[in-house]
Structure 1
Amino acid sequence: MTEPIHIGLIDDHAIIHEGIAGWCAQADPPIVITGSYLSPASFYEGHHDVDVVVLDLQFDGRAPDLDALHRLSEDGYRVIVFSQHTGSSLVLECLDLGAVTYLSKAEGREHLIAAIHAARTDQPYLGPTMAKAMNSDEAVNRPMLSPREREVLISWFQTESQALVAKRLFITPGTVKTHLGRIRAKYAAAGRDAPTKAALVARAIQDGLITADDL
């Protein structure tokens, strides 16, 4: 895609805003910061239409604000968490709450720009912090997926849309949607909801269905 990606940036440090603005100015495809905000509240007071939200978790020295992430995700925003926190349990919780990608601020320009481009196309992006969290998780209650469900799931991770999965596997888009719905239902029944593509990637890696290299 060559059209600009419009993002909203929510972070309470001016140096982060300046740094990301410089990175975005050099991105290809171009990335435009539609609005820079010092808190989630200020985003909701004056936000514009954006393709992706880049969100810090901690404001004014308080504990990570997961309520903000949950609200943004529930409102349909594609949220990339960009935080100094790297704890695996926090990373996995953010994915469960709807984040499409979790990045450590130490991962810097290369990973953030790639994650923004991926978020716009619904492709999962796996940075080092997110990969470590997934691989270290010892999840239980793993649902049993059929061979066909696994095939559909992995193909979906490797393509940009359900239509491309259907073309690759010689099935209808409706069949793809049915398989993915059944997979989500199985994870929900096991108490491990996967509301986003990123969360399903996390589940699949935790359960040994796919590796980071497969992505």
Structure 2
Amino acid sequence: MSNAPHIVVIDDHEIVGHGVAHAFHVQGVDAEVTWFPDLKSATLAKGDIAVLDLRLADSSTPTENIQSLMAQEIPVVIYTSADDPVLVREAISAGALSIVRKSTGSHEIVEAVQEAAEGRTRPGLDWAAALDADDDFVTSHLSALEAQVLARYASGEASDAVARALGISKNTVNTYIARIRDKYRQAGRTAESRVDLFRRAAEDGLVSYFD
């Protein structure tokens, strides 16, 4: 990013705000970091990036907070201990761009914020260890090959790369992606963009926000 980002940390504990500021300093990335204990008290502006905890003392829900931030065109990175799979999945469904564990290295939160500033997710691959994902949609709606195509494509691989990896044609990959989008739409789940597909794949346990 050409300009130093303004990061708004929303967390019960002020030390987390200091920790995020320190992470950017350690990584040599200029950033302005402010901290607030809840969304109601936060001072926000378009162009900010929110770093949000899942549990706040005001009993607000991830969905409420994320939707409020998104309505202000503020991308959201969840910074959490990830000890409650239900809340993590709720945050993914609500539109959080990335989930970062507080136990990871400083580069993780910095890179997630940088990606969020560009409107991108930052997926990882250790989903099983992070979320108690429900695979009912996958098993009941997608074939084994469709699930593999979705996992690779949603993680950022180009169609031709997916085709080479799975030994099928690029046209077949594109056909499968179109079919997968239709299946999610029929289930009432948005799947228009690649980010949408990533979120659906994350919710269904095929990809992960965590490294």
What is the DSSP-based 3-state SS (H/G/I as helix, E as strand, rest coil) of the residue aligned with 2:136?
coil
The aligned counterpart of 1:27 is: 27
The aligned counterpart of 1:157 is: 155
Q: How does 1:72-91 map to 2 (within 5 A)?
A: 72-91=69-88
Q: How does 1:134-149 map to 2 (within 5 A)?
A: 134=131, 136-142=132-138, 143-144=141-142
Tell which deviates more after alignment, 119-128 or 85-94: 119-128
Alignment partners' CA distance in 1, 2:71 and 2:181: 17
The aligned counterpart of 1:200 is: 200
Name the % identity.
21
Alignment partners' CA distance in 1, 2:90 and 2:208: 20
Does residue 7 of structure 1 match 2:7? yes
RMSD: 4.1
Deviations 1:58-82 (A, max 9, x none): 2337475531123223444321111
Instruction: Quote the offset at 1:55 in angstroms.
Output: 0.5
- AA matched with 2:37: L
Deviations 1:142-194 (A, max 9, x none): 333797997587345326xxxxx48979x9xxxx8x98676444224235556
Instruction: Quote the offset at 1:131 in angstroms.
Output: 5.2
The aligned counterpart of 1:126 is: 124
Instruction: Quote the offset at 1:54 in angstroms.
Output: 0.4
Q: How many residues align?
A: 198
The aligned counterpart of 1:17 is: 17
Q: Which runs of 5+ in 1 are unaligned?
A: 160-164
What is the DSSP-based 3-state SS (H/G/I as helix, E as strand, rest coil) of the residue aligned with 1:107?
coil
The aligned counterpart of 1:162 is: none
What is the DSSP-based 3-state SS (H/G/I as helix, E as strand, rest coil) of the residue aligned with 1:36?
strand
What is the DSSP-based 3-state SS (H/G/I as helix, E as strand, rest coil) of the residue aligned with 2:74?
coil
Greater helix fraction, Structure 1 or Structure 2: 1
Aligned residues of 2:124 and 2:208 also touching (Cα < 8 A):
no
What is the DSSP-based 3-state SS (H/G/I as helix, E as strand, rest coil) of the residue aligned with 1:102?
strand
The 3 A distance-change label for structure 1 pair 188 and 148 is closer
Alignment partners' CA distance in 1, 2:101 and 2:208: 20
Q: Which runs of 5+ in 2 are unaligned?
A: 164-169
Alignment partners' CA distance in 2, 1:123 and 1:56: 17
What is the DSSP-based 3-state SS (H/G/I as helix, E as strand, rest coil) of the residue aligned with 2:113?
helix
Aligned residues of 1:12 and 1:39 also touching (Cα < 8 A):
yes
The 3 A distance-change label for structure 1 pair 35 and 49 is farther
